[in-house]
Amino acid sequence: MDKRRSLVEAASLVEDGATVAIGGLSMNGAPMALVREIVRRRARDLTVVAIVAGMPVDWLVAGGCVSKVVSGLISFEGLGLAPHFRAAVQRGEVEVEEYSEHTLICRLQAAAYGLPFMPTKAGLGTDMISMHPDTTRHEQDPSTGEHYIACTPLPVDVALVHAHSADSQGNIRVDPKLIWMDNEIVNAATTTVASVEEVLPHRDFVAEPHRTTYPRFMVDAVAVAPYGAYPTANFPRYSYHAQFFADYVQATRDPSAWAEFWQTRVVGPAEQGDLLDANGGPNTLIDIAREA
């Protein structure tokens, strides 16, 4: 079965009101090309699950797509806070359900294993448990007396991940296997949509089966998007584009500057090549490759 789709088709698998989990970690490996298409098609009322993310969540919030964020941390790390996410939360427009990264992973694992809960000791002694009585509960093991937190499953409608390569059937390689925590969201999700740097012949996947990170039966759609994690990094090929992050943060300080930035450098460009050209073209590609 040929699972190749255009970015527009792949992004359309995310329906309004869906729970969408975003792959990558902070400045690394986010499925930005897919996120951009979701923003461009003006998706609404999404619940976004991100263990640790920055730019993809900020784009979705800036585009008015998000009603709730379930996460461990949303930031641009050394380059600042995620400005639209922060502003929307302060205005009360976006609800935040905050967990530790580990608690969030336990909730995703419970969903992946079909269990009513996953126990963990991480989070004991914090106020996180009382903030979420419906999803995290302090329990005591009757036979040993040990304390733990029971974490309910977090079902995900669509996982969005970016990877290095795929074949036409949807076998996916993260290569080398720096998969961050993407496997946790893929395992928990009903539907998985991946963007990849390139499509390789199926025989390459058969020749080296150990390099397959997600087998095709876990993957529903694959879209080719060279530099599809831009402006986040996709090691070992390219680093994150620090200048984009800096310009982005700067533009948010002034409404008219922001409107122009958003139009010309994020949502306006039609294709992936247009996006890269709008952000420095070949010079940028050379810079982020050198940084990697």
Contacts of 185 (CB under 8 A, 6+ apart): 21, 22, 23, 49, 51, 108, 156, 159, 161
Minimum distance between the CB of residue 151 and other proteins, rounded to whole angstroms? 10
Is 203 one of the binding residues for other proteins (CB under 8 A)?
no
Residues of this chain, 121-150, that bind other proteins according to CB under 8 A:
121, 134, 137, 139, 141, 143-144, 146, 148, 150
Which amino acid is present at 5? R
Out of 19, 75, 120, 165, point to the residue binding other proteins (CB under 8 A). 120
Our measurement of the distance from residue 178's CA atom to the centroid of its chain's CA atoms, rounded to an integer in Å, reads 15
The region of 43-51, 107-115, 223-231, 266-274 touching other proteins under the rule CB under 8 A is 107-115
Is 41 one of the binding residues for other proteins (CB under 8 A)?
no
Minimum distance between the CB of residue 112 and other proteins, rounded to whole angstroms? 12
Is 108 one of the binding residues for other proteins (CB under 8 A)?
no
Minimum distance between the CB of residue 138 and other proteins, rounded to whole angstroms? 9
Is 178 one of the binding residues for other proteins (CB under 8 A)?
yes
Phi, psi of 19 (to 5 degrees): -95, 115
Can you tell me whether residue 259 is helix, strand or coil?
helix
The token duo for 162 is: 């970016």
DSSP character at residue 254: S
In angstroms, rounded to a whole number, what is the distance separating the alpha carbons of residues 90 and 207? 52
The token duo for 57 is: 């969540």
- Write out the residues near other proteins by the rule CB under 8 A: 113-121, 134, 137, 139, 141, 143-144, 146, 148, 150, 152, 176-178, 208, 210-211
